[in-house]
Amino acid sequence: MRLRSSGFLLVLALCSGVALAQTPPATSQAPAPAAPATPAAPPATPQAQSIPNPAPAEPQTPAAPQAPATAQPSPAAPAPAAPANPAPAQQAGRTTLFPNPSDPTGVEEGVLVSKPTVVLSGTSTWDEAFTNLKNAFAKIEGELKKAGITPTGRPLTIFVDTDDNGFKYEAMVPIAQVPEGKTELTPEIKFGKTPEGKSLRFVHKDAYDEIDGTYETITAYLDLKEIVAKDAFIEEYVSDFTDSQDTDFEVNIYVQPKQ
């Protein structure tokens, strides 16, 4: 297979902050010891009682801290919006070829089970890969909707032939079952089956334009383990096709060893 070359960029930012607040000592208590100095005269005792009157006024000052207290919950409100990002990856309950969640930090071994699917074949240059695959899946989804067939799995591409200029592909969307007696959805879109057999799953989570770096990692792993893989490789798109520069774009890459 032909692996496109490009740099693989990983950025890690660490942020930390600590805020400490000290409460100033109450200086109003200093006059309190002065009060015993005047008790010799009878009128001094009423004055000593009048001193505690300003003291309650100080506890009323905590009303000021209530303003920042109400201001703090408002920035916390946007926090619940964060869960909205992972939602698209689970939309419609579509499953991946490996049923367990992907692990971007490691390599997983498993067995692919064949599933019914629709297939759209095509060719593309490497520079137009993202756009052409996005259009292919949009066409498949549109025809499935017209036929009233619900997709059950994430879109995937089998790269059946590659060279320096481009590649031939089979774009697939798994479905529950093929309509009885049917071999094609349209003259262009056929019914078929997804790949099956032993496989290794690697995960790419970055912009699609940076996927070459992941393939370089895969190649190094296969060389280290002395694994001879089939020429065709499989990409399964956990994320929806939006932007080739989306750094949250997640792809499962399946490599099948030769028997």
140-190: pLDDT as tens digits = 999 999 999 999 999 999 999 999 999 999 999 999 999 999 999 999 999
pTM over 0.85: no
Domains and CATH numbers, the chain: 106-255 (3.20.80.10)
**Nearest Cα to Cα of residue 184 among 153, 149, 155:** 149
| DSSP label at residue 104 | T
Percent of the chain as helix, strand, coil, to the nearest 5: 35, 25, 40
Phi-psi region of 47 (alpha: psi -120 to 50; beta: other; left: phi over 0): alpha
Reduce the DSSP state of residue 215 to 3 states and report it: helix
CA-based Rg of the chain, rounded to a whole angstrom?
33
- Residue 70 tokens read as 């109400």
pLDDT interval class at 103 (50, 70, 90): confident
d(CA 120, CA 171): 5
H-helix segments, the chain: 31-34, 44-50, 54-57, 66-71, 73-76, 129-147, 211-225
Reduce the DSSP state of residue 202 to 3 states and report it: strand
At 191-237, the pLDDT tens digits run 999 999 999 999 999 999 999 999 999 999 999 999 999 988 999 99
